[in-house]
Structure 1
Amino acid sequence: MAQYGEYTGVEMLDSTSMNITQDNISKIGKLFPQVLTESQDDNGRLHTAIDFDKLKDILSHELADGPETYEFTWVGKRDAMAEAGRPTSKTLRPDLEESVDFDKTENVFITGDNLEVLKILQESYLNKIDMIYIDPPYNTGKDFVYSDKFQMTQEEIDEATNSLDETGKRLVKNEKSNARYHSDWLNMMYPRLVLARNLLKDSGVIFISIDDNEQANLKAMCDEIFGEENFVVNLAIENNPKGRKNSKFVSVNHESLLIYAKNIEITYPFKSVVKKDDLLKDEFGYYSHGKRVLVGESTNDKANGGDKDYSVYYDGNSIILKKEKIDEYDKKLIFDGYKIFKSIKDGVLLENTYTKNKFYELFESNSLLFKENSIYEKDRNVYKQQKSLIKSTDEWDLKTETAAFIESDFDSKKLFSMPKNPNYIKMLLFMLGLKNAMILDFFAGSATTADAVMQLNAEDGGHRKYILATLDEPVADKSAAKEAGYETIDQISRERIRRAAEKIKSENPDKVGGQDFGFKAFKVDSSNFRDVYSTPDSYSQQDLFESVSNIKENRTDLDLLFQVMLRWGMELSLNIAKEEINGVTVYNVDDNSLLACFANNISEETVKAIASKEPLRAIFKDESFANSSSKINLTQIFKEISPMTKVKVV
């Protein structure tokens, strides 16, 4: 293995996640290169930075100045904003035993802190998610919030939480007596929403369930993160028709659903969730009811001899337009079977809605609806617009009391506190209207989102995929979950998915084999690689000379492969084929998008065989090459055989 700092001609793969702050600095630098400078971190490394004084000079006329500027702020906001830009060295390790149909499924289930998960996914799923649905803690004073604590010392954490939790739990109870009651919740949500926005497609949307405890603050925060112009609606969801009996003044029977678009100008219109018989269309694809009167009794102005003054003669197949007085009509056309339409109100002849040319154009496009005394323009909207109040119906039962998933000895309402109704998530997926959507839920809890995705796919033949993330939070002692043998929340979530899949398959036997009922399970863990190369000062010279591997013990080839895929921005669901080349194992990801070989010894012939496949990327273990010259040779082989391949070692 080459010594640290020795030139080998092949690049080491960076083991940390995407540095969003540096990426943003790069974007600013492209607009204003004169503001770029350098700064030195605590380890003496130089980084590109922004000279804000120069940037202020350039934008001085557009910068808000003084204390009286509009802003939404809270204690800790600056740290929350910085946290969103900090990279992580964590990675995802595959858990084959907990997975279902690992080799074929495109669904993903991740156990771990969702802040770390969102950072890890930044490169692989940047601008790739169609829809995000989350049901975060509502901050009722009885639930918990994630205790990120940003860059606090351990002593500061202990003082802030008044706790020395030996289990290392990431959740702390947020009681209303806490002086930072709202701030703690906002600090928890802010970086997660910033990172979530990065993952959305430009046409993507995010749905966030919330109640009145934080609805106003969440709206203000989302206006800042997503842009007020991208606010779609605050839906009122009637999930408790009887109302809460413990309310002092008003019996609350709904919760809120905030919806934001990444870019509202290109987001697809929602499908309406009204009953299907309200959506009947005619043979030409228009809604059967009339939208507006074009000819007949209307509120138009009095006829004045212009191009909107005409009578319409219609025989069921053709039309003839003629300019006539109120009491004139063509006897011959009437005799030939034409019916006459005029715009008359209170004995006065009115002008029609459109000019003759426009009226002929609508007739040619089958956009006219002829009634007894009037002619209407058909409703040409692609969808009927969804109303902002959604009530439970026979088709969409949204009630919380009917939310349980019950299958044999598994009852989601007993195992979870207030699980979401799968019909509710199904309704949102239906509203989205995309049968091939990729769905993300990083507060997955009871895995209702996965259940809803599988149900709707079975019903309409869709191929929606999901990515779920939840904590391995221990279940409460003496709880139904504990008595059932579960130790952590994520265990229950995965079991819910397995049982829901079996139930859907038994109820839809014709869909078995055609739908994806599996999931790849992953767990957040530390990097598979020792940090020898990025922080050499923390290792002695003796360590560097004696080290035979920069890979941690008990890490498998698949562990390494998925960390490499994540760092190279490749999706976790990509197909992975295992091949044998000259007696060593090679992993082929997405049909030559990546070839990975982690064998301990790789011959020159094997390198040439891999290069001859001309992959887009190739990765090898650093220790697989005896010295620097062999790695230089690796580079030369690819330059000669497959010069377009990106080659790195780990």
Structure 2
Amino acid sequence: MGVWNTFVEGDNLEVMAGLEPGSFDLVCSDPPYNTGSLFSYVDDFRGPDGGRAGRHQAWVDFMRPRLEAVRELLAPSGAVFLSIDDNEQARLRLLMDEVFGEQNFLAQVVVNLNAKGRQLGSGFATNHEYLLVYARDARACVLDARTPDTVDPDDFPQTADDGRAFRHLPLRNTNKKFNPVSTPTMHFPLWGDPVSGRVASEPFDGGQEITPVFGDGRPAVWRWSRPLVDARPDDLVCREIRGKHGPRVDVFQRDWLEAPGGRRKKLRTIWLAEEVGSTDTAVAELKSVVGHVFESPKPTGLARRILRTMPADARVLDPFAGSGTTGHAVALLNVEDGGSRTCLSINVAEPVRPGSNAALAGLATVADITRARLRAVAEQVGGGLEER
């Protein structure tokens, strides 16, 4: 088994220039939010006039070449997730459209990292940030935006004789875009018996002929082909229902909670703290490995949800590694599911604030924090650490 985590200290633009194009499947990172604090890259981050407009433009100028480098490093099937807050969200979205192309935009996710909201200052109690998600090439991207985490067993209220939970789904296609005109091969008769529940593609004693119709009686189509009906008759049931024009019989699919290969559900675009963790849980995670040495780390639960959208052998890059959450999450998830993900974390030697917890702990730079965390993760979780 190879080393899971690698850490490189340096300016990410310089480091990325020395990496092989197309060598990463996923970029997961938390770039600077441009809140006006000091910044330790070579770029003039504050802008020529020091004002708000100049600072915004300087931030865009700082990010553009780094995003272009990220794009070059992504495999055609890869994707990028970038965290951002309201301060630069609009500019980052436009910049990502420019660098990656609008056609490769996948999602803008709202992440609820502070359930109570920030109480300092005036105005609203902000309790969210964003994740911007783009593909290198949406046509080739292997990102799977489904997860078992959001499957609710209460959505499957029926129980079979063998104890398996299921729900009834109409076999007819409820999307009116699909109809006998658009998909004529999916409009054909079935036979069903509402007493026994039996469904078949050929007539049988006690069976009634059933053709798919919408609720208003207009012709519809089935979701399953005739061969699939023949192959899975035990997953279908005939029932009598109350239609718009009185009782009628219809065909339903038994949709099992424990589906083959594991049931997964599409991720929503609002991720709650109870699902992915919060800033508070992230601080506690970091404290458990190296101490309270970073003001606002990201929770590993957030990074693990992102990692699960890609294959279990994904090559991951975090060019703004910060406290090292991404690398930590890679190790945790590899242990959890037996994956072989690898992560390259990059961080510049940005000085920590004098008198801060990190400084008091002997960690002079943010890179020192990244390194210390990934070393501790290698010791506690496994997977090793290579330092360059």
TM-score by length of 2: 0.79
Deviation, structure 1 residue 398: 2.0
**Counterpart residue number, 2:245:** none
Q: Which of 193, 200, 203 in structure 2 is aligned with 1:319?
A: 200
* The one of 139, 143, 147 aligned to 2:42: 147
Match of 1:185 in 2: 59
CA distance in 1, matches of 2:93, 2:308: 24
SS at 2:103 equivalent: helix
SS of the counterpart of 2:81? Answer: strand
Matched, 1:454 2:357: no
Taking a change above 3 Å as real, the CA distance of residues 409 and 465 of structure 1, as seen in their structure-2 partners, is closer
Cα displacement (A) at 1:181: 1.1
1:430 CA drift (Å): 1.5
**Matched letter for residue 429 of structure 1:** L
For each residue in 1:462-491, what CA deviation from the matched residue of structure 2 results, as whole angstroms up to 9, or x when unmatched? 110010100122322222222112222222
Contact kept, 8 Å, 1:450 with 1:468, in 2: the verdict is: yes
Between the aligned residues of both structures, percent identity stands at 30
Q: Which residue of 2 aligns with 1:118?
A: 16
**What is residue 392 of structure 1 aligned with on the other side?**
273
Superposed CA offset, 1:374-399 (max 9, x none): 31357799843211111133xx3421
Q: Separation in 1 of the partners of 2:319 and 2:33?
A: 15
Match of 1:370 in 2: 237
Partner of 2:21: helix, strand, or coil? Answer: coil
Map Cα deviations across residues 155-179 of structure 1 (whole Å, 9 max, x no partner).
xxxxxxxxxxxxxxxx769997355
Query: Hey, what does 1:272 align to over in structure 2?
Result: 147
Compute the displacement of 1:295 (Å).
Answer: 9.6
Where does 1:3-402 land on structure 2 (aligned, <5 Å)? Answer: 105=3, 107-121=5-19, 125-142=20-37, 144=39, 146-148=41-43, 177-246=51-120, 248-268=122-142, 269-272=144-147, 274-278=149-153, 288-294=166-172, 308=187, 310=189, 312-313=191-192, 319-321=200-202, 333-334=205-206, 338=207, 351=219, 353-354=221-222, 359-366=225-232, 369-373=236-240, 374-376=250-252, 383-393=264-274, 396-402=275-281
2:209 and 2:83 map into 1 onto residues whose CA distance is: 55
Q: What is the alpha-carbon distance in structure 2 between the residues aligned to residue 208 and residue 479 of structure 1?
A: 27
Match of 1:501 in 2: 378
Aligned CA-pair RMSD = 3.9
Could you tell me whether the CA contact under 8 Å between 2:289 and 2:376 is conserved in 1? no
Q: Which runs of 5+ in 2 are unaligned?
A: 241-249
The answer to whether the Cα contact below 8 Å between 2:76 and 2:140 also exists between their aligned partners in 1 is: yes
Counterpart Cα distance in 2 of 1:457 and 1:189: 31
**SS at 2:28's partner residue?**
strand
Number of residue pairs matched by the alignment: 357
In structure 1, the residue matched to 2:385 is: 519
Q: State which of 360, 369, 375 in structure 2 corresponds to 1:492.
A: 369
Cα distance change on mapping 1:197 and 1:309 into 2, 3 Å: closer
- Residue in 2 aligned with 1:420? 298
| Aligned mates of 1:467, 1:449 — CA distance in 2 | 9
Q: Could you report, residue by residue, the CA deviation over 1:118-172 in whole angstroms, capped at 9, with x for unpaired residues?
A: 1111xxx3112010011011012235363325xxxxxxxxxxxxxxxxxxxxx76
Distance of aligned partners of 1:227 and 1:520 in 2 relative to their CA distance in 1, 3 Å threshold: same
Shift of 1:518: 1.2
In structure 2, the CA distance between the partners of 1:262 and 1:406, relative to structure 1 (3 Å rule), is: closer
Q: Is the 8 A contact 2:145 2:267 kept in 1?
A: yes
Cα distance, 1:238 vs. partner?
A: 0.9
Question: Does the Cα contact within 8 Å between 1:273 and 1:386 map onto a contact in 2?
Answer: no
CA contact (8 A) 1:273 1:431 kept: no
CA contact (8 A) 1:309 1:352 kept: no
1:493 aligns to what SS in structure 2?
helix
- Distance change (3 Å), C-alpha of 1:382 and 1:220: farther
Match of 2:247 in 1: none
Does the aligned pair in 2 maintain the 1:209–1:255 contact within 8 Å?
Answer: yes
What do the CA deviations read for 1:612-641 (whole angstroms, capped 9, x no partner)? xxxxxxxxxxxxxxxxxxxxxxxxxxxxxx
Corresponding letter in the other structure for 2:239: E
